[in-house]
Amino acid sequence: MKIITIFLLFIITVEAKNYNQNKKTIAFIKMMETQYNYKPSYLQKLFSDVTVQKTPLKIFSIKKSKPTVTEKKNYPIHGAWDRYVKYKVTEKRIDQGKYFLQKYNSVFKKVEKEYGVPAQYIAAIIGIESVYGGNVGKYPVFDTLATLAFEENRRSKFFTKELTKFIRLSYKQKFNPKKVKGSYAGAIGLGQFMPSSYEGYGVDFNNDGKVSLQHPHDAIASIANYLKENGWKKGEEIATRVSYEGKRFKKLKTGYNTKYHRKELSGIKPKQGRWEYFDKVRLIKLSKKSYDELWYAAKNFYVITRYNHSAYYAMAVHQLAQKLHKNR
């Protein structure tokens, strides 16, 4: 009885749809025919049976509401970093990262030499994005992008462009677009690249004639290429923790978009002594339960935020990378 109930729920929640009668789809097919010379019959076949992805649609359809008084009470801003890093930088993930670095050691050495990005930072990104390939996503990428392109949501224009890129990518790389799984936003592979990033930064590092971000060799090199093309400087510092007076830092604006000359930051200095970085720095604040951690962040830290526009994300990558480097 339980199995029947689950099966019925599955039928109810999964909706197959023929998008060929949708006005947006008709316009999309015409655009693909005009601009890229695609046969309408090929695209119509793809869009004739799309499983509407309700979870992604819900995520992008509903604007985030302001937290209620109860939510503010139960989840105060203090301790936000504690909660975030608890799930991103774990002993298990460190052990998995050490194994991943060891398994693909020769690839990492070649990539480091060619792109100038340290192996531990590439591995840290893969660890946080996909648990070293263990969780590349469960959503069908084509159906997800089609749902988000043609159903009403706040980012439909963005997903229409990504759908275009994905279809063209599947043709170029000779894979079935209906067979690829990814994230709820349509991100693909060990590094969770969106199709536009896949196209722009993907590298065929194993020289098999195609870029496959599900393949560790290509994924490792593609992440390094992404960071390098976004401004990574070989050998430069990333971040260091600094001291300040008090337990909560409110004196100056923090975040990766605001830069300071260090001489402007009186009373703030590195905890580990001399820090060999002399360009402008960002101040990154990590809100912990009892106090704020404050960090200097260099240009390379900012580059990591181009991968994911979150200071907490970039700091998690940095701290995981440091632990991998220490244990390597």
The residue with tokens 């890129």 is 165
**Cβ–Cβ under 8 Å, residues 320 and 93:** yes
Q: Which residues are catalytic?
A: 129
Q: With CA atoms as reference, report the closest residue to 230 among 301, 313, 317.
A: 301
What is the amino acid identity at position 57? L
What is the amino acid identity at position 90? T
DSSP letter for 189, please: T
DSSP letter for 120, please: H
- The secondary structure of the chain in percent helix, strand, coil, rounded to multiples of 5, reads 55, 10, 35
**Cβ–Cβ under 8 Å, residues 255 and 311:** yes
What are the structure tokens assigned to 41, written together?
A: 């019959």
What are the structure tokens assigned to 154, written together?
A: 């706040």
Neighbours of 283 (CB within 10 A): 23
**Three-class secondary structure of residue 196 per DSSP:** helix
Gap between the Cα atoms of 261 and 249, Å rounded: 18
What are the structure tokens assigned to 103, written together?
A: 């398994």
Q: Where are the beta strands (DSSP E) in the chain?
A: 15-17, 50-52, 139-140, 181-182, 239-243, 255-260, 269-270, 281-287, 292-297
**Cβ–Cβ under 8 Å, residues 311 and 305:** yes
Residue 33 burial (C-beta neighbours within 10 Å; 0-12, 13-18, 19+) = middle
